[in-house]
Amino acid sequence: MKQAGIQRIEAAYLVKDRPDFRIGDTVDVGVRIMEGDKERIQVFGGIVIARRGRPGTETFTVRRIVAGEGVERCWPLNAPSVSFIRVVRSGRSRRAKLMYLRERVGKATRLAEERRETGEGAPQGAAAPAAEA
């Protein structure tokens, strides 16, 4: 258990507007990049293969394929260099870590899509029920 002083300091750095994403979700992560005196946002999109740590120090790992090579990046969830996290697609996973995706290539890396409830209580992309005749 952490001391109360450390918890107070960490609470000041927590980012409140992070979306709820899980292992297996495809996300776009906007990362602030400094080039000389200019700052720009670079988007890194891929599948979340791992989350670890406690709420104040939690990190997540995103994997994507670039030019036939697998690229993984790991960020702290509350890092100031991460400007946004956008969930593109929700994937169904029965494991806490998806390290087995490292050995897979092409279509074998796809996960089944999971439909999640939105704020209104209806599944995403659900159509209205048809009227019975």
pLDDT of residue 8: 83
Number of domains in the chain: 1
Cα 50–45–55 angle (5° rounding)? Answer: 40
pLDDT of residue 104: 84
Residue whose tokens read 């670890």: 52
Cα 68 from Cα 103, distance rounded (Å): 12
Grade residue 126 by pLDDT with cuts at 50, 70 and 90.
very low
Structural domain harbouring 74: 9-96
- Does the residue 133 lie in any domain? no
- Does the residue 112 lie in any domain? no
- Domain of 53, CATH number, reads 2.30.30.790
Question: Mean per-residue pLDDT for 22-42?
Answer: 94
- Does the residue 114 lie in any domain? no
Per-position b or e across 16-25, b if 16+ CB within 10 A of its CB: eeeeebebbb
- Does the residue 103 lie in any domain? no
- Does the residue 68 lie in any domain? yes
CB 101 within 8 A of CB 94: no
- Does the residue 126 lie in any domain? no
Question: Mean per-residue pLDDT for 66-90?
Answer: 91
Residue whose tokens read 């750095």: 13
- Does the residue 101 lie in any domain? no
